[in-house]
Amino acid sequence: MMPADSDIADYLAGLGYGTVGTDIFYGNYPASPDNCICVFQSGGQKPWPWESLEYPGITIIVRNSGPDDARTKADEIFKDLAGLTHITINGRNYHGIEAQSSPADAGVEPDTVRKIFTLAFIVTKDMEG
């Protein structure tokens, strides 16, 4: 099974949210820059043995030194991803991206003024390997 976090990071970069490795990261939550997007793959849902699909979870963290900017970016990402169907990212077929909730306010990082919002999705994609 291929991680979906790198695909989603690439997809967000393609939408103009930033550049992977500069202000969009996957599998990593760096100390800097202040304003960034971090994409992680989580457990998701179990695949069924009779399907050739997998259902990884995706958590996206939006961090920004401006609270309003963090909320705006989280809301924009939510609108761009929630409900997407039948897309191909890096040659892999994604049948759907389902939001698990609206963007959640996760507060401010300790010892900083950086505001954090989180988003959670379940993706349905072709199983690989």
- Residue 85, beta-bridge partner list: 96
Is residue 115 pLDDT above 70, yes or no?
yes
Beta strands 24-26 and 36-45 are: parallel
pTM: 0.94
Q: Which CATH class is domain 5-64+73-126?
A: alpha beta
Kindly state the average pLDDT of the residues 91-116: 94
pLDDT for 47-70, tens place per residue?
877 789 999 999 999 999 998 999
Task: Report how far residue 99's alpha carbon sits from residue 118's, in angstroms, rounded to the nearest whole number.
Answer: 11
Domain parsing of the chain, residue ranges: 5-64+73-126
Distance CA 74, CA 41 (A): 17
